[in-house]
Amino acid sequence: MGAAGAAIPSLDWNGNRLLISDRWSIKDLPKQAKVYLGSENTSGWMREQSDRSQWQDPHGWSYARIELNPSDNANLLIEDNQAIADIETPSTALTSNLVLDLPDPQFSDSLKATVAHLTMGIAGNRTYPSDPVSYPLSRFRDGAYQIVALARAGQLDLAKQLSPYFAENDFINSILPEADIPALGIWALEEVAIAINQPDYDRWLWSHIQRKAKLIGDILSTNRPGYPILSAAKAPFAENSEFVRVDLGKMENTPDAINIDPAANSINYRALLDAAALADRLNNRESAKLWRSQAEKLKAAWQKDQPITQANQQPKSKIKSPEFSAFTDGLWPSGIAEGDRAALTQVFQKRWAGLKDNSGAFSPASQSIQTNIAEAHQWLLLDQPEWVWQALQWTWQNQASSGLYTWSGDRLLQLSDNALPKSFSQWQRLRGRVNSTQLTPHYWTSAEMLLLQLDMLTYSDRSTSPSTLIIGAGIPKDWLSKSISVKGQLIDGNLVDWAWDGKQMNVQIKGENLLVKLGSAFPRETQLKLEIMPKDSLKSEILIKEAFRSN
């Protein structure tokens, strides 16, 4: 027994029983058995023959080695002295309340597994990028995607529990302060707020959103150090104590100049619109107007810096590079590339032609699996489900642990002695299997996968006013010959059920009266039956509408 499973602060051997961490007892050892105690930090500890009866190590690197006589027929009794009632049990189910009846069981298994992995990856009220044993610090950017995925999967209590960390922290991403962190916080928290739909949560959130939105405005409007710079003393792990600033672009000599960094500005755009939405709900029209104005200037500057028409004129070899940020976040989650979907579709079609290997099989552009899934999310919103399914199947075929639906962030990542900061000790050597080559589960990748799959079933198109509920955007045509149903999907605070019987789509919404449209796989003449059940109404009547799918 050693510290690979958990820290062992104390050991006690009285000649009859071995007590581990004042909790577990090993009894019925043969009289001839020899028990050696000590520290794994001792050179040659696996051969050490000490006569210690007790051992303590505040860092938990204790070991107990039991030597048995080969002729002994030993049956060891292991007892857990901690009462069952004292063990803290999770208050949240590991899976979503979503009920799926789909023709492809792999799709359902993948979705359910990613919910479970994200739920089990929480330690206390913190998210982590991977196994907390190997990386014990929260990464804000990874966590933002995790909390959004959990909220959309219906894990509202857990998302609410995680919210204070994202509300109270403005810049630190694990060990470094970075400029897009305020925006990621706004986006993640507003997604939770929409899902929870509670006025008290909105009021609690308001001061944090105000502060973060002001920071975004300050960063975008100046290239002077007018915002906080953390010293190395306050960020002791940081190699570079200054922020990765947004002001990397060319400054214009106008009061309204916006500094351009496409990688960060897309999420800043999303955050400003989300902040404005919260301001609207709290009747703060002045703030909403200001933030929308800032967002529109940012969008104009982004589109000027990354003109889609110029991208269309690039050769395939150039357009295959991931530098054009519309490939990974232009439509989702930011929406900053909205405006000319026809031209954007042409860019992606040209890029798609280059995403093939020598055999003609699909070959992703990036070594980062999460980046490839993010790009597939853009394809979904551009109504290209066939592309999405090729990416989905490639991702399933490249799991870190086949059948468990876990991935690493980088498909070619090879762990080495220098793969993780040595200040986090050497736990990375003990990952539950010998010579592991991947950090898995990688929770940002899991979150991207879950968010893509959920939107393939149902998503809210917020580019329209009012928003439009898109049913089955990722449904392949070969599913339509069978019955399909999705029950209990949470969309913008509304519960949505839908069922396809081979001829008609039946949709039931508990909440708002939303516009509804079907995905492109469904025949144009498909009949749509829509039932709206007012969430807060005491009336028993159900509003029934019938419509046909329009262009």
For residue 411, the tally of other CB atoms under 10 A from its CB is 18
pLDDT tens profile 57-70: 888 889 999 998 88
Return the pLDDT at 265.
81
Q: How far apart are CA 528 and CA 516, in angstroms?
A: 9
Delimit the domains of the chain by residue range.
10-86, 109-136+412-443, 314-398, 468-548
Question: Mean pLDDT, to the nearest integer, of 123-139?
Answer: 84
Q: How far apart are CA 294 and CA 277, in angstroms?
A: 14
SS3 469: strand
Would you place residue 75 in the very low, low, confident or very high pLDDT band (cuts 50, 70, 90)? confident
152 is written with which tokens? 């959309």
pLDDT at 410 over 90: no
Q: How far apart are CA 35 and CA 64, in angstroms?
A: 7
Nearest to 352 by CA among 325, 388, 323, 381: 388
pLDDT at 389 over 90: yes
pLDDT at 86 over 70: no
pLDDT tens profile 245-302: 433 333 333 333 333 355 678 899 999 999 999 999 999 999 999 999 999 998 988 8
pLDDT tens profile 212-248: 999 888 877 765 444 444 443 444 444 443 443 433 3
Return the pLDDT at 287.
97
Question: Mean pLDDT, to the nearest integer, of 511-538?
Answer: 87
Would you place residue 38 in the very low, low, confident or very high pLDDT band (cuts 50, 70, 90)? very high
pTM value? 0.78
pLDDT at 89 over 60: no
Task: Give 505 or 340, the one with higher predicted confidence.
Answer: 505
Q: Which long-range contacts (CB under 8 A, 24 or more apart) does 363-369 make?
A: 364/391, 364/394, 365/320, 365/321, 365/322, 365/327, 366/322, 367/410, 367/411, 367/412, 368/409, 368/410, 368/411, 369/395, 369/398, 369/407, 369/408, 369/409, 369/410, 369/411, 369/442, 369/445
Return the pLDDT at 408.
84
Q: Which of 87-91, 288-292, 378-382 has the weakest average pLDDT?
A: 87-91
Question: Mean pLDDT, to the nearest integer, of 466-475?
Answer: 95
Return the pLDDT at 85.
52
Percent over 90 (pLDDT), the chain: 52
Task: Give 495 or 416, the one with higher predicted confidence.
Answer: 495
DSSP 163-211: HHHHHH-SSEETTEEBTTHHHHHHHHHHHHHHHH--HHHHHHHHHHHHH
